[in-house]
Amino acid sequence: MAYKSLLTVITNPDLSQSALEGALAMARAQDAHVDVLALGIDHSTPGYYYAGTNALIEQATLDRAREEASAIESAARAVLDKSDCRSSTESGIAQVGTIQNLVGVRARFSDLVVLSKPYGDDRGIVDEAVVEAALFAGNVPVLVLPRGVSLGRPQKVVLAWNQSAEAMDAIRSAMPLLQQAQATNIVIIDPPRHAPDRSDPGGMLSQMLARHGIRAEISVIAGTMPRTSDVLARHCEDQQADLLVMGAYGHSRFREAIMGGATRDMLEAAQIPVLMSH
């Protein structure tokens, strides 16, 4: 399967904060179509204002969200018109609480969603909500790009393997990229003693990939750092990888938001593109 339909969601007229250029780079490499959702955010909180002012406040915030969505779509269209990619744009508005519904429906009909990293000094709850909407409501793989980083055809890919259904789904979703890469590395951190492939960690996965024409090396490493994300980041650096593939949110989103977890930590620290699936 190849990626033929890509989606990116933009929530700020400043396109430098978006993944539009990254989506175009992926579209060129995959001969894919790019869909852009220009999303204006209504930040009002119904019921918060004094009686009699709600309707006025809500109308004003809706108008502002529509204007923002229109400005985003116009800016994106100007970039797309200069590109050599097949593309389309659509605008919409949503409150933070309804982002999941709107983005989820659009993402569901895409092969891959390309988004910018949701964490950082200039990022916020809207960016995180868009990523989670694509993963959970759209049930589609998401390629998360650090600012200024694009990915066309990866040269070296690292697969974070922990026997989970999320990790396997991410690897299957990444097949078009793995088949184009020059090298693939399966990394296993502290494999459990009673895993199905305990005598040959990663062996069954390597065999599956080989049948798709993908020759993968296996690295079994110790978790010598407090956070799994730190171990993965260091391994990717050692491997000179330009893509990390991993399962997303093996624990609940609430637990990761409060206590942390590999997905959130990896996205916060990511210096290379990360392809995730749940």
CATH number at residue 108: 3.40.50.620
Same domain, 140 and 222: no
Please check whether residue 245 is in contact with residue 216, taking contact to mean a CB–CB distance below 8 angstroms.
no
pTM of the predicted model as reported, rounded to 2 decimal places:
0.89
Q: State how many domains the chain has.
A: 2
Q: Which amino acid is at 177?
A: L
Same domain, 141 and 15: yes
Single residue among 114, 145, 176 that ends a domain in this structure = 145
Same domain, 140 and 174: no
The pLDDT of residue 258 is 41
Distance CA 138, CA 136 (A): 6
Single residue among 86, 117, 145 that ends a domain in this structure = 145
Same domain, 118 and 90: yes
Residue 150 lies in a domain: no
Residue 99's domain comprises 5-145
Higher pLDDT, 198 or 19: 19
Same domain, 96 and 168: no
Check the CA dihedral 217-220-223-228 and report its sign: positive
Same domain, 138 and 191: no
Residue 240, both tokens: 């000179």
Residue 151 lies in a domain: no
Single residue among 145, 177, 212 that ends a domain in this structure = 145
Rounded to the nearest angstrom, the gap between the alpha carbon of residue 215 and the centroid of all alpha carbons in its chain is 25
- The pLDDT confidence band at residue 255, using thresholds 50, 70 and 90, is very low
Reply yes or no on whether the pLDDT at 124 is more than 60.
yes
Q: How many residues are present in the chain? A: 278
Reply yes or no on whether the pLDDT at 164 is more than 70.
yes
State pLDDT tens for residues 86-106. Answer: 999 999 999 888 999 999 999
